């Protein structure tokens, strides 16, 4: 919209940038990283592979 003043565009850009940063920081710090099940399976397979009874 050409009628809008440049200070309006600047304030909107700052508002959306701050909102974007806050949203990303919340997603990053609230995410609980759990141990994947594949590592647990690999450990159990490794333990089982040591105890072969022929």
* 3-state SS record for the chain: CCCCCHHHHHHHHHHHHHHHHHHHHHHHHHCCCCCCHHHHHHHHHHHHHHCCCC
Radius of gyration of the chain (CA): 26
pTM of the model: 0.50
What is the predicted pLDDT for the residue at 28?
Answer: 87
User: For residue 2, how far is the Cα from the chain centroid?
Assistant: 38
pLDDT digits (tens, 9 = 90+) for 8-35: 888 999 999 999 999 999 988 887 777 6
């Amino acid at each position: 919209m050409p009628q809008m003043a440049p200070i309006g565009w600047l304030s909107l850009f700052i508002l959306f940038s701050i909102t974007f940063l806050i949203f990303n920081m919340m997603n990053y710090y609230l995410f609980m990283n759990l141990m994947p099940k594949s590592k647990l399976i690999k450990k159990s397979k490794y333990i089982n592979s040591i105890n072969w009874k022929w």
